[in-house]
């Protein structure tokens, strides 16, 4: 795989280019606050916030857990965010092209 910014060869599973430091692939920050369909644990609220603010999802989950245990606002904010945040639209695959076969007349 190649970095789109510096053109160097990088590993296929890399999230960040080792040469220029730019994020690569699907790990870029989202432009909308949505609950992703894949990679979520309960409802995807923490993962949605982590992707929106471009931080580690474990950090968001730990902070939310601490806030939930210490304050009533942290406890009530998760179900409210679950209801308010829209779910990510489903990914629809493009139809496969129909292969034309050669026919002899």
User: Could you report the per-residue pLDDT of 42-82, keeping only the tens digit for each?
Assistant: 888 998 898 888 888 999 999 999 999 999 988 899 999 99
- What is the Cα Rg of the chain in Å? 20
Q: Where are the strands (E) in 1-105, listed by range?
A: none
- Region 83-100: mean pLDDT is 79
What is the Cα–Cα distance from 47 to 14, expressed in whole angstroms? 19
Domain residue ranges in the chain: 1-28, 31-84
The pLDDT of residue 30 = 57
The percentage of residues in the chain with a pLDDT greater than 70, rounded to a whole number, is: 86
What is the Cα–Cα distance from 49 to 71, expressed in whole angstroms? 19
What is the Cα–Cα distance from 67 to 58, expressed in whole angstroms? 14
The burial class, CB within 10 Å (0-12 / 13-18 / 19+), for 87 is middle
Query: Is residue 10 within 8 Å of 1, Cβ to Cβ?
Result: yes
């Amino acid at each position: 795989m190649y970095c789109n910014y510096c053109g160097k060869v990088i590993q296929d599973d890399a999230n960040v280019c080792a040469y220029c430091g730019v994020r690569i692939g699907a790990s870029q920050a989202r432009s909308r606050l949505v609950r992703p369909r894949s990679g979520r644990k309960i409802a995807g609220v923490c993962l949605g916030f982590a992707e929106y603010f471009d931080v580690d999802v474990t950090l968001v989950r730990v902070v939310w857990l601490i806030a939930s245990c210490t304050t009533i606002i942290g406890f009530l904010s998760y179900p409210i965010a679950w209801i308010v945040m829209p779910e990510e639209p489903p990914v629809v695959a493009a139809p496969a092209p129909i292969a034309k076969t050669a026919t002899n007349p």
